[in-house]
Amino acid sequence: MGATLFSPLTVAGTTFPNRIVVSPMCQYRAIDGAASDWHMIHLGQFALSGAGLVMIEATGVEAAGRITPGCLGLYTDAQEEALARVLKVFRHVGKMPVGIQIGHAGRKASSHVPWDGGHGLAEGEGAWTIVAPSAVAYDEHRAVPEALDGEGMRRIVAAFVQAAERAERIGLDVVELHAAHGYLLHQFIAPLVNRRTDAYGGSRENRLRFPLEVAAALRAVWPEGKVLGARINGPDLLPGGATIEDTIAFADGLKKAGFDYVCVSAGSLIGGQRFEAFPGYLLPYAEAVKRETGLVTQGVGMIVDPFLAEQSIATGQVDMVAIARAFLEDPRWVWHAAEKLGIAMPFPPEYRGADPAIWRGAAHRPLLCSEPGTTAEAMRTASAAT
């Protein structure tokens, strides 16, 4: 069985050994925005994962841009030094490229960590002033944000630039602009949130203006020989929300700005948003972006099964798959995917004893994967039935 999932891909001079990405996953364990021992262990487990790219979690470009007080930041020397320490240890073991996702939470900032409810911090709980394109609250549990003025927008552009410069100094291979999941740049794109009447609101061109200004500023400072990408949203899946046409126009603008890839996600624009989710449910949006723009495109959306991942690459839907929760459940997902797809995965010599080719116990352990031939539509039907 062939496996395009395990074929290399070269983007902007960087070669990814396969098409599997460890997606950015917020851990909420930073100390004053600085990476902690938790990050050392969390990211360290992926150094031997065999993934083609490991991405560091969403990282605030300024203190007010963090989602929670526990979120990573990259706006102080101490934060830069702490992340450099983690990366140095990672690189002693892991050989794959490493990137970071940088963003600003906008009106979703100043929140409790998810296991404490995730709602907005109260004044006595260390809350800070939140900003957005317009004074429209995320939900009833958060404060109404201040609408950004020109000075505030210029400050945020500069913060993105400085974060990218810090990422370059510590030797990261990829920077990913976070413009999805209801955070600040997505808020500008979404007409449900962006109620501005100036040059940054109203028409599609105006709503894309600020995110593309940030993108252009990043491209100006991030080296051409290193990969620059963006996480963007597909349609908002809400009446009056952004459409797939908005997504494609944004991706096209990023391509013209010199970006190398996009990862197409969805959701989280307003509090309590719910929609049907099933394995591969976001792949059609990523496919549409790839078809219309020609950009290298990552797919996400409950990609747990290696046969679905392989199918999405082999059929040309997407160029890479970004996987999050499946890696939390199984940091050896890549090893198990290779086994299922009939690919000989090179094991570190220290772990050679677990190689299924020689370990008799391998035949007695379960693998949470479907059989060949399973399609995304079949899994969607099964999901709906449950």
pLDDT score for 22: 98
Q: Which long-range contacts (CB under 8 A, 24 or more apart) does 210-213 make?
A: 210/133, 210/153, 210/185, 211/179, 211/185, 211/250, 212/250, 212/253, 212/254, 212/257, 213/153, 213/157
The model carries a pTM of 0.94
**How far apart, in Å, are the Cα atoms of 245 and each of 154, 239, 293?**
27, 15, 12
Q: Tokens for 34, please give them.
A: 């600085």
DSSP assignment of 231-297, as one string?
A: EEE----STTS--HHHHHHHHHHHHHTT--EEEEE---SSTT------TTTTHHHHHHHHHHH--EE
Torsion of CA 352, 354, 360, 361, to 10 degrees: 170
- State the pairing for strand pair 14-16/9-11: antiparallel
The upper half-sphere exposure of residue 366, i.e. CA atoms within 13 Å in the direction of its Cβ, equals 3
- List, in sequence order, every residue forming a beta bridge with 54; answer none if it has no partner: 22, 98
Chain segment 372-384, per-residue pLDDT in tens = 554 445 444 433 4
Closest among 59, 63, 52, 135 to 94, alpha carbons compared: 52
pLDDT score for 378: 46
Region of residue 33 (left: phi > 0; alpha: psi -120 to 50; beta: else): left
pLDDT score for 380: 45
CATH of the domain at 47: 3.20.20.70
Q: Cα angle vertex 285, ends 282, 287, to 5°? A: 110
**CA–CA gap between residue 231 and residue 160 (Å, rounded):** 15
C-beta of residue 230 within 8 angstroms of C-beta of residue 272: no
**CA–CA gap between residue 120 and residue 40 (Å, rounded):** 28
Q: Which domain holds residue 302?
A: 4-385
Catalytic residues: 183
Q: Residues in the chain with pLDDT < 70?
A: 1-2, 367-386
Number of domains in the chain: 1
C-beta of residue 94 within 8 angstroms of C-beta of residue 155: no
